[in-house]
Structure 1
């Protein structure tokens, strides 16, 4: 290795190389390269371990949280060395947890070796030998201890001698040649659907916000997006905030002082049971396809009280070990009692159960017939008529 090198690498055991690349948002170019001469290179070792070498110290891809996720159902060993500052570290993650980390920073002292977690027994003789070498020759021998420990555990060391044939490294690329441009395509596709549906951008300083106002409601749709270029991941989803004047009016008629910011707050990705994180071209293509085929019908449902109620209350409440499902509260600070009003208007057969659940959660065992909840529900029963699918807008 050249003097003053900066490098980091990870070794993944018990997980196929293709799966490792998929999780990290990388593709194999199949072009052979010496490791460390390109930003990212990968190779399969004879023992079945897949190794990725990065041409910089502590590459963003070996972020501790990301490495914990990568280590699910496998073992990840990592190492980073910066010869220009004599700083080095090694770690091992297994099944989603960091097991140990060993690090050396010369500025902390020639004998410095930080240890977190439970390090392998092999560390003690490696450190003893390094300290003896430093005492005899005066050089920073502890600098090499983390890399030597990583090699002891996984059988690989960047620049070290490999047992058997030398592994063939190939250049690895991010799955998205230009992640920002790819994300821009999704945003433009969503914006086109919104504009075709009559949504407009009222605030030039907020290009991701689209609004549609009718005599019945005001709907604001936010296109939310971001990227993490260093690991080839983009995030895209849609948040819709619906303020229905009829629903809001019923609430105020029942209790004038009540104020709900919105009737419903919904996420597009949540409605499709999707994940806002896109890490592969296939996921991007699927998202674009959904925007083209399903986004417009979803927007239409926001104007239909029955369809809107299904989006809001369609999923059954979940219970847990400490709380039965019947404890579910259908009131929150943003939408107030709108979920219950929608349920009544849409003739949801669970309406009365939802009222009981909400009262139980809000009253904490002390029901109050004069509570805002009961005022709203009594007003609905006395003055509001459920709508039918044939009459909804």
Structure 2
């Protein structure tokens, strides 16, 4: 039987939509379009499963499950009760074993403008008509239903991911201000990394950049070690999802990845995380200050770094020497390599005296606006 086609939204942090679009196009999803905060595609439930399992860049995968018009709360209540929730929510939810939560965003173009009142009506309708248990908060819910009320159109989507997709399942130990795996993957892609060159991170923290790079080099499935919210929906087909997993091909790679950090503790975290991810044999972590950094033997590759910005870790005035030292080491020892650096401060980036290319739009990161600075091949 032919599966219905619907809109699927792959969310990401603002500023990286075009990079995610590149990944989605490469993966062969249908009708991808970059929009604010992500990429939309057209597909069926098999595409939802494949996107969650295999794409490295999205933060969440949202499936649009339907819509209706409503001009006041009583109408919203009535139509929410008639919505086919039983065709969407899995039996464990309908049997009260799992919980749901509704999140509403509305705007001034709609008659229903009070998001809290809309949440209350929709949740009560689902509970009273279908018996679903309502979670106390979004973090407590097994399934989150996202509702957008725009110009009196009530549009329902369901979060098919559950926990954010940056939670691959192997990073259990972290340092301060960690880079999310999804953002690391998109940053590597933006730097032109495809898995066929070494990568070095001289301020590696818990190893996110290098573990992502090593997984890409082996073509590891991003979601291989975790569960997803879609497993609790009526559409879930365990056999079909198993086929997606089994059809995935891991490849051999002799690329090596090098991480260092002056913090001995986070080096231990990085080693443990790489072991859980299955890439410890390719990743080499050492407690080393930037000023003592040495170029690895072998071919040139990519240096990627997410140094302190001064906004959360360290004071800005103390960081100029760190950035300058990093730039000195790159120019002296890393000719032939490319450099990518994320920072929120252009002055700090300029303190490296590296030949940065023009930057693109800022990227939302942990409440800050950062930019990706890139060089060409250093000469």
Question: Where on the TM-score scale, by shorter chain, does this alignment land: which range?
Answer: under 0.3
Q: TM-score, normalising length from structure 1? A: 0.25
Q: TM-score, normalising length from structure 2? A: 0.26
Higher relative contact order structure (alpha carbons within 8 Å, sequence separation ≥ 6): 2
